[in-house]
Structure 1
Amino acid sequence: MAKLKSDALLDLKHLAHAGREVNVRVTPKARRDSLSLRDGTLRVTVTAPPEDGKANEAVRKLLARAMGIAPSRLHLRRGQTARDKTFVCLEG
């Protein structure tokens, strides 16, 4: 996963609550890692390929960083093989 400047990330700290579900639309194999909000949908692009869970892990780490929490506090609930995914924040 490519390094992002901290100021390049959306501030998603308001989503970091236990039990909160975060729905995202993912684009793997992108030119760079990014988070954007378009048409009310949180869109995530990652450079990782969609094989062996690499893209899912990259999305989890990027979301956690934007939310200001440890990646271990985010769990992929739905969408392991789909572009639309739902992550849930765990207590911690």
Structure 2
Amino acid sequence: MVEIKQDGNGVVFRVKVQPRASKNGLAGDLAGVLKIRLTAPPVDGAANEACCKFLAEIFATAKSNVEILSGHTGRNKLIRVADVTVQQARALLEK
């Protein structure tokens, strides 16, 4: 199960990004970390941009509510999504 923590008015969780995948999608749980496949390449911040956009679509929120807190240059990232509760996040990620 993905480890999701409440943080102010949003949630924080870890993701592992797989860039240059054949299609965007959730790839499951890796020891409490959400794995995400993205078609974007890991150059010039394209994968980070795609990650925020993809998660905004999943959580049905504005892209500005999704923030990468750490891991800008690596595959492992810490993500904050504003205006979402832990229960809402779990429900949306389990779909």
SS at 2:53 equivalent: helix
What displacement does 1:59 show? 0.7
Indicate whether 1:85 and 2:77 are aligned. Answer: yes
Note the alpha carbon deviations across 1:8-49, whole angstroms, 9 max, x for none.
xxxxxxx8x824112101000111111132344311011101
Higher strand share: 2
Match of 2:60 in 1: 68
Match of 2:19 in 1: 28
- Output the CA distance in 1 between the equivalents of 2:39 and 2:25: 9
- The one-letter amino acid of 2:47's match is A
What displacement does 1:90 show? 3.4
Q: How many residues align?
A: 76
Computed over aligned residues only, the root mean square deviation of the Cα atoms, in angstroms, reads 1.9
Unaligned 5+ segments in structure 2 are: 1-5, 84-95
- The one-letter amino acid of 1:71's match is K
Match of 1:9 in 2: none
| Percent of pairs with identical residues | 36
Structure-2-length-normalised TM-score: 0.71
- The one-letter amino acid of 1:72's match is S
Note the alpha carbon deviations across 1:22-80, whole angstroms, 9 max, x for none.
21010001111111323443110111010110000101111111111111111110000
Instruction: Determine which of 41, 46, 49 is the counterpart of 1:49.
Output: 41
Say whether the 8 Å CA contact 2:26–2:36 is kept in structure 1.
yes
